[in-house]
Chains A and B, each alone.
Chain A
């Protein structure tokens, strides 16, 4: 590092972490063996976005199939997608549809949304925000990235070899009996999820220890930015829930390879046991997906409204409360398969989740009150999050209610609900965070006009795609089907066209980010006037993050009493400078 002191700042003895080391291959080798959390964060960002693109392409294909579904009309097969119908499939063209659906689900869940925010933005910013030089175990961090890539290769291999049609949930006995001649693909996909679990555990474990041991002098637990609280809560769930999916997938593998019969009713096994095990992980992990998104929102909403967070402790503790309750609600995925008393208990516990979640939403709303709100891309995404996530959360309540769930479960209502939470919540927050921190990560400003254009397309496209699915679901459209009755055609068409608008929005963002490297304005250290510690570092940060270990002298959200140094609001005109924003 020391041989290259060509940083633009000049007065620093160290270059930015992006400064190349020697030639091309030397730089590649440097990145491949790096233990710098920033580089690993960037590598994770690249990897998860690649997976997001793959999973997204599958989603577009699914929507395209549903535009003109394959149907048997007068004994003749019609429709346009996925070639001819498979005779062994449950419906016309169904087998291939199931493959693509599994591809979409498994990639999006295991390879994009679970590691997504924590491993990329979390890796990059968690140490910076607590004033540390790195995460607690840098080598373990790099290892978790390689394990992630290795696991993803397994998953992609299973698809290239012909695909898996189990859905991402691998329910037994279907997952142990499907494709009897091609069983290895299912095993590959199960192993992929198993391996990815290790990566997830190592990342979570690393973050928990980092937060406990590496906070800067003067930073108590309640001086931490709320991003750190959210990532910490998610990390706790990752550590505690993932081993259970580990043993589950291991048993499933033994079942598939050695026919041990634990989940096979024919041999006295219990398939319901699989569902309980599976959801004991997979429900808490839903909060691994959403908590980091919420964590980002706490940062963007305060910074771009120049306002102290409303109810710091309530937001922090509600993250922990969500993490705790998340372990008690897995049974709501089995309402139709378990006894009435158990279902009632799980229903009641599920309603409990709404409380800390609503606490957060109301606190964010109250934060905006009389704030000095900048209408830029991060803030627009933040506002969109509040709007979309509230819809996603509230539509969860009819699903937690036993009587309405019997009508709605396994319908498009469920699909719309969890896409409003996962996409309208997590992905939207991810985009907010990506725009918010892009200048810090890469030292370049993105173009605000194209940012807002991309936002508009994503927002409109998303609502077009998924809002109509609530209505489809209540009218009886079941999920996971490649075909449907003619009455639903108009609504499916709207949804498919929406998916194109959504894809166009992402394309705009992609182009905007890539071109920012070439034509983007050079980013100052603190373009938004943020008060959290990462804005004290250079943009992009130097190899060891800070010239001197930062000492915390003010809270992360003291916008009403503290103007950050090196920040000139004239460079990035916000509606008002910090002093006047609070009343």
Chain B
């Protein structure tokens, strides 16, 4: 390994990259990584499916509490966050394209921009939504202190809201971490047409984070 590095010191990592010894080619390794990521995303979908299932059950049990609940949420903040995530989905897809074309500046730009979209999403979520609602007493379960509730089961609505969006926000946070890590590696010219596995599969992950939000947004904010 060291001899190769010394020999190819002037060539960027992505050009000299060769697959791990148990693979037959770079392509097969890349394909396997993608299949692995798709399987992992399947588990993510099933994880959130449990949450959606709980949402459906309680919505059937307490339709009034859920109707009240979605009125408490401001669709404009949710809509803005939806827009931010959609834009970030585009930029992360572009970053894969940039890696394939070896457009190093735009690769770094798009990775960083996507990460910043994630940060913006989280800031909006925490500052303009969680913080305000928590202060109003719109809290989950036994923490609930909101004085003007009209349905006794509103605490359950807030439990579903906080847990579902909280788990999603955790995923966004992890995604931001991954994107910044990629951005740093892209700065060292780790990715190019010959090798961009990490960009590709992180992109897949980022898309699933978006898609989950695409389902959460109407269910929580828009349906009354």
Residues of chain A at the chain B interface (Cβ within 8 Å): 132-134, 136-138, 140, 201, 205-206, 208-209, 212-214, 239-240, 242-244, 246-248, 250-251, 254-255, 258-262, 264, 267-270, 273, 277, 544
Contact A273 B22 (CB under 8 A): no
A137 and chain B: residue at smallest CB distance: B36
Contact B141 A260 (CB under 8 A): yes
Q: Which residues of B contact A240 (CB under 8 A)?
A: 42-43, 46
Binds A, one of B54-62, B76-84, B88-96, B216-224: B54-62
B141–A213 touching, CB < 8 Å: no
B residues in contact (CB < 8 Å) with A: 20-23, 28, 31-33, 35-36, 39-40, 42-44, 46-51, 53-54, 57-58, 61-62, 140-143, 152-153, 155-156, 159-160, 162-163, 167
Report yes or no: B142 in contact with A243, Cβ–Cβ below 8 A.
no
Is A262 a contact partner of B43 (Cβ separation < 8 A)? no
Can you list 9 A-B pairs, Cβ within 8 angstroms, ordered by A?
A134-B22, A213-B32, A242-B43, A243-B46, A244-B50, A246-B43, A262-B156, A267-B142, A268-B152
Question: Would you call A544 and B46 a contact (CB within 8 A)?
Answer: no
Across the two chains, which residue of chain B brings its CB closest to A277? B50
Apart from A138-B20, A270-B61, what are 5 other A-B pairs with CB-CB below 8 Å?
A251-B163, A255-B141, A259-B143, A260-B162, A261-B155
Task: Write out the residue numbers on chain A whose beta carbons fall within 8 Å of the beta carbon of B57.
Answer: 270, 273
B159 touches A262 (CB 8 A): yes
Question: In the complex, are the beta carbons of A262 and B160 less than 8 A apart?
Answer: yes
In Å, the complex CA distance between A404 and B50 comes to 32
With known contacts A209-B32, A260-B141, A267-B142, A243–B44 Cβ distance under 8 A: yes
Q: Pick the contact of B39: A133, A205, A261, A268 (CB < 8 A).
A: A205
Is B40 within 8 A of A205, CB to CB?
yes
- A269: nearest chain-B partner, CB-CB: B156
Minimum CB–CB distance from A269 to chain B (whole Å) comes to 6
Contact of B54 (CB < 8 Å), options: A136, A137, A251: A251
Contacts of A247 in B (CB 8 A): 47-48, 50-51, 167
Whether A243 touches B35, Cβ cut-off 8 Å, given contacts A213-B28, A268-B62, is: no
Which of A205, A239, A244, A260 makes the CB contact (< 8 A) with B159? A260
Nearest first, the 8 A-B pairs at minimum CB distance are: A247-B50, A133-B22, A260-B141, A261-B141, A260-B159, A134-B22, A243-B46, A243-B47
Q: Which residue of B lies closest to A255 (CB)?
A: B141
When the two chains form the complex, which single residue of A134, A206, A267 contacts B156, counting CB atoms closer than 8 Å?
A267
Most B CB contacts (10 A, CB to CB) among A140, A246, A254, A260 go to A260
Give the complex CA separation of A240 and B46 in angstroms.
Answer: 7
- Contact partner of A244 among B23, B47, B142, CB < 8 A? B47
Cα–Cα, bound, A207→B159 (Å): 37
Closest residue of B by beta carbon distance from A236: B39
A60 to B163, CA, bound (A): 41
Which chain A residues lie closer than 8 Å to B47 at the CB level? 243-244, 246-247
For B141, the chain A residues whose CB sits under 8 A away are 255, 258-262, 264, 267
Total number of A-B contacts with CB less than 8 angstroms?
112
Complex: A516 Cα to B70 Cα, angstroms? 68
- Which residues in B have their C-beta under 8 angstroms from that of A264? 141
Closest A-chain residue to B62, C-beta based? A268
CA distance A246 to B141 in the complex (A): 21
Which of A132, A138, A267 sits near B155, CB closer than 8 Å?
A267
Chain A residues within an 8 Å CB radius of B39: 205, 208-209, 239
Nearest CB on A from B151, distance (A): 10
Chain B, residue nearest A248 (CB): B50
**Least distance between B131 CB and chain A CB atoms (Å):** 17
Cβ contact within 8 Å between A205 and B36: yes
A136 touching B32, Cβ below 8 Å: yes
Partner of A209, one of B21, B36, B142: B36
Bound form: Cα–Cα A214–B23 in Å: 8
B43 touches A239 (CB 8 A): yes
Question: Which of B43, B51, B159 lies in contact with A261, CB distance below 8 A?
Answer: B159
Establish whether residues B36 and A261, one from each chain, have CB atoms under 8 Å apart when the complex forms: no
The closest CB in chain B to the CB of A262 belongs to B159
Q: Given A244-B50, A268-B155: A544 and B35 within 8 A (CB)?
A: no
What's the least CB distance linking A37 to chain B, in Å?
9
Contacting pair B22 A214 (CB below 8 A): yes
A273 interface neighbour in B28, B44, B54, Cβ under 8 Å: B54
